[in-house]
Amino acid sequence: MGNKVTVSTFQKMKDNKEKITMLTAYDYTNAKLLDEAGIDAILVGDSLGMVMLGYPDTTRVTMEDMLHHTKAVARGVKHAMVISDLPFLSYHTGIYDAVKNAGVLIQQGYAQAVKLEGGSEVVDEVKAIIKAGIPVMGHLGLTPQSVHKFGGYGVQGKTASQAKKLIEDAQLLQDAGVFAIVLECVPYKLAEIISENLSIPTIGIGAGGGCDGQVLVSMDMLGMYKDMTPKFVKEYALIGQKIKAGVASYIQEVKNGVFPTTEHSFTIDEDVLKQVE
C-alpha cells in the first residue's frame, strides 16, 4: 500500500501521541485537494445528505448515494485513508445487511474502512463486519442518524448516566475491535477521559482538544455551507465568499463583453474561413 494511511498508521499515531487529522470529502476534485494538502484520513460522511444533496438531515441518505460518492473520492486519493459512512438503516436491519452493505463500500466503492453510529445497540453488527475483514470506525455522542430520537443536535453525555453510558459504549466498541471512535458533541472533559481510557484513537468533532484526532465537515471549515453553523466549527478559509466573488466577476465580464477575449478563443485558418463566408 506504499505510504497509504491504514488502521496501523492510526494506531501508531495514537501510540506516538501524534494527532490524527480527518476531513470529509464527497467528490474527486475536493478529495484530491485534501489528499495533496496532507490530510491523514478522508471521511465520505453521510453529511453529504446535507452539504451535497440539500436534505435537512442524514436520514434520507441511501447506500446508492454513499457508493456513488465513495467511488468518486477513492479515485482522487493516493495517501489518505478513505473511510465511508454506512447510512441510516443500512446496518440496523441485522447482521447480514450490515456485512453486505459494508462490503459494497469496500468492494465497489474502494473505501478502506466503514464508519457506523452507535454503541451497545450495534455491537453485534460491528463484530460481524470486522469478522468479514473490514475495519470499522465507531461513532458515539451525537449520532446524527438518530436526530429524531434526540430531537435535535444537542451536546451528549451531560448527565452522569449518559456520561457513564458513553464510557461503557466506547469500551464495548474497542473490545468489539473497532480501530477508532468518532466522539461528536461531547463535553471536552468527558472526551478526555474516554480518550485516556482507550488504547485506540478517538477522533473528536465538538469534543475538545483531548481527543487523539479531529474531524470537521470540509464544507463547514472552508466556509461553504451556511445552513447550519455548529459552535465547534472553525472556518479556515472563506471559500464560499471567494466562489460568490468569482462568479459575480464572471457574470459582469460576460454581460459587458469583457470575457472571452481572443486569449481564451480558438483560431481558424483564413483560407478555410473564406470558403464558408
Q: Whole-angstrom Cα distance, residue 103 to residue 97?
A: 10
Is 184 among the residues known to form the active site?
yes
145 near ligand KIV, rule: CB under 6 A: no
Q: Whole-angstrom Cα distance, residue 118 to residue 144?
A: 10
219 near ligand KIV, rule: CB under 6 A: no
C-alpha dihedral sign at 110, 9, 121, 182 = negative
Among 237, 183, 230, 239, smallest CA distance to 210 is for 183
85 near ligand KIV, rule: CB under 6 A: yes
Give me the amino acid identity at 199: S
| Identified binder of ligand KIV from the candidate list 86, 182, 183, 219, rule CB under 6 A | 182
| Identified binder of ligand KIV from the candidate list 205, 207, 211, 221, rule CB under 6 A | 205
Distance of CA 239 to the CA centre of its chain: 18
47 near ligand KIV, rule: CB under 6 A: yes
Name the segment binding ligand KIV (CB under 6 A); options: 31-39, 42-50, 67-75, 103-111: 42-50
* Cell numbers given for 106: 469496500
- Return the DSSP state at 84: E
| Identified binder of ligand KIV from the candidate list 173, 217, 221, 222, rule CB under 6 A | 217
138 near ligand KIV, rule: CB under 6 A: no
Q: Is 109 exposed, middle or buried (0-12, 13-18, 19+ CB in 10 A)?
A: buried
Residue from 184, 192, 253, 277 carrying the catalytic annotation: 184
Helix, strand, or coil here: 277? coil
| Identified binder of ligand KIV from the candidate list 24, 70, 90, 112, rule CB under 6 A | 24
46 near ligand KIV, rule: CB under 6 A: yes
45 near ligand KIV, rule: CB under 6 A: yes
Nearer to ligand KIV by C-beta: 147 or 193? 147
Q: Whole-angstrom Cα distance, residue 234 to residue 216?
A: 9
215 near ligand KIV, rule: CB under 6 A: yes
Q: Whole-angstrom Cα distance, residue 78 to residue 264?
A: 33
The residues binding ligand KIV (CB under 6 A) are: 24, 43, 45-47, 85, 182, 184, 205, 215, 217
Catalytic machinery residues: 184
